[in-house]
Amino acid sequence: MNSNIILESERLIFRQHLPEDMNAYYSMEMDAAVRRYVGGRPRSRVDAEARFKNSLKPTSSSLGVWAAILKSTKEYIGRSGVYPHINAAGIIVPDEGFLSFYIARKFWNCGYATEAGQAFVDFAFNKLKLKRVLATVEVGNDASIHIIEKLGFKLDRKEEGQRSFYHFSLDNPQII
């Protein structure tokens, strides 16, 4: 298996970001529809480039957000993963991670976020042996809420603010 690859699902490969992903990544970050519930506004090209450079940093950890590549066409379709839970004091909470999925608009409603989400929940519980996976979704992001609930997450609380968020969690059934 290519050493950049961290995980595979039926239709997707998840690997470290590579320079060849840049243009697809920028288009996704500069798309107002994609950014509506994640940040609220499209990123500028400069911001997207800075963020992409961050994604390219080599990592030895299995916790992170990975490029999602469609096996059938080798296209970059977005990113997904379980990234570290850093609490308000800036400390990494052991045994926990946050689920993330982010799919370019052209590929919406094909089941890719659900497939990626399920693959990373299984990975987090079976391989990384995390006790709990968390997910935060902005109120109004109904497709995302639907997926998170389909994956079995339970609502812990709603955070009200200028932008409001639902906080979900899912416990590892093998570690109680």
Write down the least CB distance from residue 15 to ligand COA, Å: 18
- CA distances, 121 to each of 74, 92, 157, 163 (Å): 23, 19, 20, 26
Rank residues 28 and 130 by Cβ distance to ligand COA and give the closer one.
28
Rank residues 24 and 60 by Cβ distance to ligand COA and give the closer one.
24
User: Where on the chain is the footprint of ligand COA (CB under 6 A)?
Assistant: 34, 37-38, 101-103, 108-114, 137, 141-144, 146-147, 150
Q: Are 42 and 35 in contact (CB under 8 A)?
A: yes
Write down the least CB distance from residue 87 to ligand COA, Å: 19
> Phi/psi of residue 166, each to 5°?
-100, 140
Give me the DSSP letters along 15-35: E---GGGHHHHHHHHT-HHHH
Rank residues 6 and 137 by Cβ distance to ligand COA and give the closer one.
137
Write down the least CB distance from residue 112 to ligand COA, Å: 4
In sequence order, the β-bridge partners of residue 170 are: 133
Query: CA gyration radius for the chain?
Result: 16
Q: Are 160 and 126 in contact (CB under 8 A)?
A: no
Rank residues 3 and 102 by Cβ distance to ligand COA and give the closer one.
102
Write down the least CB distance from residue 69 to ligand COA, Å: 14
Rank residues 26 and 102 by Cβ distance to ligand COA and give the closer one.
102
